[in-house]
Amino acid sequence: MSGQKSGAWESETVRHIGVGERRARLARRHLLAPGSEAASAVEAAAGVVALHATDPGTVFLSI
């Protein structure tokens, strides 16, 4: 390449998310941040459990 930007994702308008913001978002998503605590064990589990298609167990857990 000749140093030119080739894709929209390389635009200077793309917002950078720093480590602190990424960690804060993750803490909220996992219900660990103050003010976002889970009301029940089921809600807490739902906040941290993820199923992914590349994990063989996901097929059995999703059914």
Residue 57 above 60 pLDDT?
yes
* Residue 23: both structure tokens together: 């960690």
Q: Name every residue whose Cβ is closer than 8 Å to that of residue 43 and which is 6 or more positions away in sequence.
A: 31
- Domain residue ranges of the chain, discontinuous segments joined by +: 11-62
pLDDT in tens, 20-44: 999 999 999 999 899 999 999 999 9
d(CA 50, CA 61): 11
The stretch 38-59 carries a mean pLDDT of 81
Lowest mean pLDDT among 2-6, 44-48, 53-57: 2-6
pTM: 0.54
d(CA 31, CA 45): 9
